């Protein structure tokens, strides 16, 4: 049986992106067979939910195929095993960062750029043309025409991809260029750490004198963080006055970033400001085709059209959906046709009359956290209220795809930027495998049956 599991994993591995495989399946251990279930050991509850939602059918299909005659129980008993957590963590780290490079003198920052995000695999369309053109210009001639470059737009629309591509291009031309790619969150953490550990001058060296290009992702994270904004302001000036290139991304236009110092906002506006919008249908199709090409997926045009029509607002989801259909096709040994795509989508978005509503999510979240609906919709900022609110917003956005302004409306008339930062905050915590968020999201979604 153990071998059967190994074979099943092997088969799944060749069909999933390595990132998904390493994140979700590699850390799972086989715990044996019981009369009516197989036992899988997982690092935390979220794995059970995620795997059940995304991979379980495939796992059973593959197990069945590999098992031949012997009957494999059709249920899983999940066993939490905390020692697997480190393994999961390591897997995540290794998918994020390439191994350290051999030559020690090589700029170490190189490893902070994501090797997958390059201009050659970025599909250009009317929605991102300007941001792309500006990024290409900055890549070939940093520190001159478009400085700073400010790229803004919704989640999953290619901002991080573009800034990484800028970094790669500059490095290709000048391998000695010292490029700092950093999220505003990490910048903040490093700053705080260096203050506490009396390392502030090293911190300043790193981001001022030892830096030729600063790529600062998700600047909205600095909202309300006065001291970090102050530090960033001086960093910005030091770089700017030595003609070093600065690129900043944000989910909203400079002036709309909440609680951001006016002088920073005006710095951001002083250079080139470019947006990335939701790509229109043709671009979405082209993105699918490009992704299919790199992943070696045979994608026929009617399926591409169908998927591009179904998933509209987020390129990351679009890619995820393509992979899901492809994996399913492979594992079932079927061609990736329209029927299969439709069936997969039906599982992802249940049909209209069954559909979960924002109210369902709010109600169940209130039950889970033990807060009142009126509080959830109130302006109260106490963490006991704001955390349930952020989690509910996140689930609504992820599962229902409700627009930010509409969510703001349904949560008691809040600004859409509030919703955006809530969703981002929770996504970030999920990426960090935050226990509290993972179990809340898992439990609420289980209750909802989605
Ligand atoms: P953001 O930083 O704006 O939230 P990302 O840059 O992380 O978004 O993009 C999300 C995913 O979508 C990434 O895998 C990225 O490669 C992909 N993507 C986004 N836009 C494009 C595009 N125009 N062409 C190809 N891939 C894209
Ligand atoms: Mg990003």
| Segment 231-270, tens digit of pLDDT | 999 999 999 999 999 999 999 999 989 899 999 999 999 9
Q: Please state, in angstroms and rounded to a whole number, the distance separating the CA atoms of residues 186 and 217.
A: 10
Strand 37-42, strand 76-80: pairing: parallel
CATH fold of the domain at 358-448? Chromosomal Replication Initiator Protein Dnaa; Chain: A; (1.10.1750)
- Residue from 120, 315, 322 whose mutation best tests the ligand 1 pocket (most atoms within 8 A of CB): 315
State whether the beta carbon of 159 lies less than 6 angstroms from ligand 1: yes
Q: How far is the CA of 146 from the centre of ligand 1 (A)?
A: 22
For residue 261, the model assigns a pLDDT of 95
Q: How far is the CA of 295 from the centre of ligand 1 (A)?
A: 15
Nearest Cα residue to atom 13 of ligand 1: 316
Comparing 389 with 82, the larger pLDDT belongs to 389
The residue whose two tokens read 């963590």 is 89
**Alpha-carbon distances of 425 from 137, 151, 183, 390, 430, rounded to whole Å:** 32, 19, 13, 8, 9
Q: Please state, in angstroms and rounded to a whole number, the distance separating the CA atoms of residues 438 and 45.
A: 8
Question: Which residues are placed with Cβ below 5 angstroms of ligand 2, an ion?
Answer: 159-160
| Average of per-residue pLDDT values in the chain | 87
Q: Please state, in angstroms and rounded to a whole number, the distance separating the CA atoms of residues 137 and 86.
A: 42
How many CB atoms lie under 10 A from the CB of residue 91?
A: 19
Q: Please state, in angstroms and rounded to a whole number, the distance separating the CA atoms of residues 439 and 397.
A: 18
Most confident option among 91-100, 108-117, 138-147: 138-147
Comparing 314 with 158, the larger pLDDT belongs to 158
For residue 166, the model assigns a pLDDT of 98
- Strand (E) positions, 16-130? 29-34, 37-42, 76-80
Query: Which range is least confidently modeled, 66-80, 155-169, 358-372?
Result: 66-80
CATH fold of the domain at 281-348? Helicase, Ruva Protein; domain 3 (1.10.8)
Q: How far is the CA of 19 from the centre of ligand 1 (A)?
A: 15
The CATH code that applies to domain 2-95 is 3.30.300.180
The reply to whether 281-348 shares the fold of 2-95 is no
The pair of three-digit structure tokens given for residue 89, joined into one six-digit string = 């963590």
For residue 94, the model assigns a pLDDT of 57
| Segment 291-300, tens digit of pLDDT | 999 989 999 9
For residue 360, the model assigns a pLDDT of 87
Ligand 1 atom at shortest distance from the alpha carbon of 121: 25
State whether the beta carbon of 161 lies less than 6 angstroms from ligand 1: yes
Q: Please state, in angstroms and rounded to a whole number, the distance separating the CA atoms of residues 280 and 312.
A: 8
How many CB atoms lie under 10 A from the CB of residue 97?
A: 13
For residue 69, the model assigns a pLDDT of 65
Please check whether residue 237 is in contact with residue 204, taking contact to mean a CB–CB distance below 8 angstroms.
no
| Segment 331-385, tens digit of pLDDT | 889 999 999 998 888 876 654 334 567 888 999 999 999 999 999 999 999 999 9
Q: How far is the CA of 158 from the centre of ligand 1 (A)?
A: 3
Ligand 1 atom at shortest distance from the alpha carbon of 153: 3
List the one residue out of 177, 168, 162 whose CA is nearest residue 211.
Answer: 177
State whether the beta carbon of 287 lies less than 6 angstroms from ligand 1: yes
Comparing 304 with 16, the larger pLDDT belongs to 304
Q: Please state, in angstroms and rounded to a whole number, the distance separating the CA atoms of residues 17 and 14.
A: 8
State whether the beta carbon of 167 lies less than 6 angstroms from ligand 1: no
The residue whose two tokens read 């960033």 is 232
Segment 200-205 mean pLDDT: 96
pTM of the model: 0.61
State whether the beta carbon of 265 lies less than 6 angstroms from ligand 1: no
Nearest Cα residue to atom 5 of ligand 1: 158
Q: How far is the CA of 196 from the centre of ligand 1 (A)?
A: 36
Domain range 119-276, CATH class: alpha beta
For residue 106, the model assigns a pLDDT of 39
**Alpha-carbon distances of 368 from 205, 402, 424, rounded to whole Å:** 47, 22, 21
- pLDDT above 90 coverage of the chain, percent: 59
For residue 350, the model assigns a pLDDT of 52
| Segment 88-101, tens digit of pLDDT | 666 655 554 444 44
For residue 17, the model assigns a pLDDT of 74
| Segment 26-45, tens digit of pLDDT | 888 888 888 888 899 988 77
Structural domain boundaries in the chain:
2-95, 119-276, 281-348, 358-448
């Amino acid at each position: 049986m153990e071998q059967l599991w190994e074979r099943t994993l092997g088969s799944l591995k060749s069909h999933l992106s390595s990132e998904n495989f390493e994140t979700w399946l590699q850390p799972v251990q086989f715990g044996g067979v019981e009369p009516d279930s197989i036992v899988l050991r997982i690092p935390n509850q979220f794995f059970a939910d995620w795997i059940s939602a995304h991979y379980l059918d495939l796992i059973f299909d593959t197990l069945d195929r590999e098992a031949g005659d012997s009957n494999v129980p059709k249920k899983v008993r999940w066993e939490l095993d905390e020692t697997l957590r480190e393994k999961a963590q390591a897997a995540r780290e290794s998918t994020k960062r390439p191994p350290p490079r051999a030559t020690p003198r090589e700029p170490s920052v190189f490893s902070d750029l994501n090797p997958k995000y390059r201009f050659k695999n970025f599909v250009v369309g009317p929605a991102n043309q300007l941001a792309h053109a500006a990024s290409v210009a900055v890549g070939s001639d940093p520190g001159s025409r478009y400085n700073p470059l400010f790229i803004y737009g919704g989640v999953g629309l290619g901002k991080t991809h573009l800034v990484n591509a800028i970094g790669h291009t500059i490095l290709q031309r000048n391998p000695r260029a010292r490029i700092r790619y950093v999220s505003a969150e990490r910048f903040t953490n490093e700053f705080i750490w260096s203050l506490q550990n009396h390392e502030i001058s090293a911190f300043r060296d790193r981001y001022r004198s030892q830096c030729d290009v600063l790529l600062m992702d998700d600047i909205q994270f600095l909202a309300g963080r006065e001291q970090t904004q102050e530090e960033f302001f001086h960093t910005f000036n030091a770089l700017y006055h030595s003609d070093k290139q600065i690129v900043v991304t944000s989910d909203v236009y400079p002036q709309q970033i909440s609680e951001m110092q006016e002088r920073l906002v005006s710095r951001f506006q002083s250079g080139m400001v470019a947006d990335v919008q939701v790509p229109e249908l043709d671009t979405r199709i082209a993105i699918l085709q490009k992704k299919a090409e790199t992943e070696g997926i045979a994608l026929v045009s009617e399926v591409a059209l169908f998927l591009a029509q179904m998933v509209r607002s987020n390129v990351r989801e679009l890619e995820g959906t393509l992979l899901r259909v492809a994996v399913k096709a492979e594992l079932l040994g079927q061609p990736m046709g329209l029927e299969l795509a439709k069936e997969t989508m039906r599982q992802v978005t249940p049909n209209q009359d069954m559909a979960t509503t924002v109210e369902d999510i709010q109600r169940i979240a209130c039950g889970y956290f033990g807060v009142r609906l009126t509080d959830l919709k109130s302006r109260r900022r106490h963490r006991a209220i704001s955390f349930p609110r952020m989690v509910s917003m996140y689930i609504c956005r992820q599962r229902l795809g409700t627009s930010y302004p509409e969510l703001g409306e349904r949560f008691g008339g809040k600004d859409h930027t509030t919703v955006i930062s809530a969703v981002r905050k929770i996504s970030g915590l999920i990426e960090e495998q935050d226990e509290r968020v993972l179990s809340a999201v898992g439990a609420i979604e289980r209750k909802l049956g989605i």
